């Protein structure tokens, strides 16, 4: 089969609204050379349910364990697990994936510990979400947004306020020097917006806020620096717009992400909340900011989706070359319950045999009836 005829599905079943931005970017890169569909667990943006998408798929790019299981049960020949950011949490066994794509070399060990075979792991870089791009002219972007602030702009997602408490975070932001202004992304949370309206004047911040809406990426592109959680959705967004990061105090499960982000030179870690202001000040020093921006550019985030697409096609070609076509479709995955009667339908998503011949059924019924009469 020619690789341009491949049907590739991109799935995420977690119900995470931020995942749509990633699946859109990956599907776009795949569709540039091969038909691609993308979908979510409860439905698909192109073509119906995940089961329908997977019915004729040659390959699936999956962002969560549930979607990997669906693809395996559907008999999809090639299943590629994608971890598009620095969060390597995965509920199931990554050994089920034919290939695992990660954002940074330092995350390889973490996914191997989760079952991935080392030879199946490929570093493709963090995937830039669709709709998030650097400003071509930062000064012009500020003027277009109506911002007359000349100092650096620090973007703070609402998740930071929620996780650490608005007062605690705002106290630290109020201690930041360098004439910094602040952009708050409140997402779809009206309570967070009202909290900021009430508390920002108390702390004397120069600040603006915006909501999650179409085109919100243009506000992210105004940021010189982003404050974020080590494994949060804000990490790939910040990298996509070219902004280095200051990481909020990490939890125990954040170690892999923190190590990789610091090794890449794109983030500084505030080890406790009390050092957040000091860490932001250090990151906003002109030399440090320039160094962070250079490190972000070195990741070539804008090309990551294309590298994902290239890795999927390469995996398919390798599969063909080695003759590893896998088992035929329609075989059970694990223990499959069989129908207990002719009227019972097979489980959803399973392949089913054609309906039995009606004349044959009628003949069997007659023979059973005659046998029963003789026995009586």
Q: What are the C-alpha distances in Å from 208 to residues 7, 202, 217, 285?
A: 44, 15, 15, 22
Q: End-to-end alpha-carbon separation of the chain, Å?
A: 60
Q: What is the residue whose two structure tokens read 């910040």? A: 238
Query: What crossing angle do the helices spanning 286-298 and 276-284 adopt, rounded to 10°?
Result: 80
H-run or E-run covering 227: strand 225-228
Q: State the Cα–Cα distance between residues 32 and 311, nearest whole angstrom.
A: 14
In this structure, the strands spanning 36-40 and 59-62 are unpaired
Return the ∠ at Cα 24 (arms to 18 and 26), rounded to 5°.
110
pLDDT for the residue numbered 354? 44
pLDDT for the residue numbered 355? 46
**The length of the chain, given as a count of residues:** 376
Q: Give every CB contact of residue 51 below 8 A, 6+ residues apart in sequence.
A: 70, 74, 348, 349
pLDDT for the residue numbered 214? 86
Q: State the Cα–Cα distance between residues 262 and 283, nearest whole angstrom.
A: 12
Q: What are the C-alpha distances in Å from 69 to residues 29, 36, 44?
A: 24, 19, 17
pLDDT for the residue numbered 327? 56
pLDDT for the residue numbered 323? 65
pLDDT for the residue numbered 2? 46
pLDDT for the residue numbered 335? 74
Sheet holding 121-123, edge to edge: 43-44, 36-40, 8-12, 59-62, 78-82, 99-102, 121-123
H-run or E-run covering 217: helix 217-220
pTM of the predicted protein model: 0.80
User: From first to last of its 376 residues, what are the pLDDT tens digits of the chain?
Assistant: 344 468 899 998 887 778 888 999 999 998 875 555 555 443 323 334 667 778 788 999 999 999 999 999 888 999 999 999 999 989 889 999 999 999 999 999 999 999 999 999 999 999 999 999 999 999 999 999 999 899 999 999 988 888 889 999 999 999 998 799 999 999 999 999 999 999 999 999 999 999 988 888 999 999 999 999 999 889 999 999 999 999 999 887 789 999 999 999 999 999 999 999 999 999 999 999 999 999 999 999 999 999 999 999 999 988 888 765 555 556 665 677 788 776 665 554 444 444 444 455 666 667 777 776 766 6
Q: State the Cα–Cα distance between residues 282 and 286, nearest whole angstrom.
A: 9
Q: Which two tokens stand for residue 296?
A: 């972000």
pLDDT for the residue numbered 180? 96
pLDDT for the residue numbered 349? 47
Backbone angles phi, psi at 195, to 5 degrees: -60, -45
Q: What are the C-alpha distances in Å from 188 to residues 201, 290, 315, 364?
A: 22, 32, 39, 62
pLDDT for the residue numbered 1? 39
Q: Which two tokens stand for residue 329?
A: 């479709």
pLDDT for the residue numbered 366? 72
Handedness of CA 306, 311, 314, 320 (dihedral sign): negative
User: If 0-12 CB within 10 Å is exposed, 13-18 middle and 19+ buried, where does residue 96 land?
Assistant: middle
């Amino acid at each position: 089969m020619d690789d341009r005829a491949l049907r590739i599905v991109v799935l995420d079943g977690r119900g995470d609204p931020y995942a749509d931005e990633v699946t859109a970017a990956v599907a776009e890169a795949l569709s540039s050379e091969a038909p691609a569909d993308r979908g979510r667990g409860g439905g698909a943006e192109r073509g119906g349910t995940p089961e329908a998408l997977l019915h004729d798929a040659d390959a699936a790019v999956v962002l969560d364990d549930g979607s990997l299981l669906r693809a395996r049960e559907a008999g999809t020949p090639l299943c590629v697990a994608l971890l598009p950011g620095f969060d390597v949490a995965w509920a199931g066994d990554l050994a089920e994936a034919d290939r695992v794509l990660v954002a940074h070399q330092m995350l390889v060990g973490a996914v191997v510990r989760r079952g991935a075979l080392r030879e199946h792991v490929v570093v493709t870089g963090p995937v830039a979400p669709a709709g998030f791009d650097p400003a071509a002219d930062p000064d012009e972007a500020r003027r277009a947004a109506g911002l007359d602030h000349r100092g650096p702009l620090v973007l703070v997602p609402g998740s930071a306020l929620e996780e650490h408490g608005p007062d605690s975070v705002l106290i630290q932001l109020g201690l930041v020097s360098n004439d910094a202004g602040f952009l708050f992304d409140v997402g779809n949370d009206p309570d967070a917006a009202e909290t900021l309206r009430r508390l920002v004047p108390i702390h004397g911040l120069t600040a603006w806020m915006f909501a999650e809406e179409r085109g919100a990426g243009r506000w992210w592109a105004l940021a010189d620096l982003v404050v974020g959680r080590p494994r949060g959705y804000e990490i790939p967004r910040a990298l996509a717009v070219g902004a280095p990061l200051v990481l909020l105090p990490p939890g125990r499960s954040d170690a892999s992400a923190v190590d990789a982000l610091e090794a890449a030179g794109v983030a500084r870690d505030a080890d406790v909340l009390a050092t957040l202001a000091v860490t932001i000040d250090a990151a906003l020093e002109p030399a440090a900011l320039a160094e962070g921006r250079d490190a972000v550019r070195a990741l070539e985030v804008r090309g990551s989706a294309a590298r994902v697409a290239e890795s999927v096609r390469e995996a398919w070609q390798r599969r063909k070359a080695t003759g590893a076509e896998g088992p035929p479709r329609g075989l059970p995955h694990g223990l499959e319950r069989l129908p207990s009667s002719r009227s019972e339908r097979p489980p959803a998503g399973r392949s089913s045999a054609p309906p039995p011949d009606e004349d044959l059924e009628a003949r069997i019924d007659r023979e059973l009836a005659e046998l029963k009469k003789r026995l009586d």
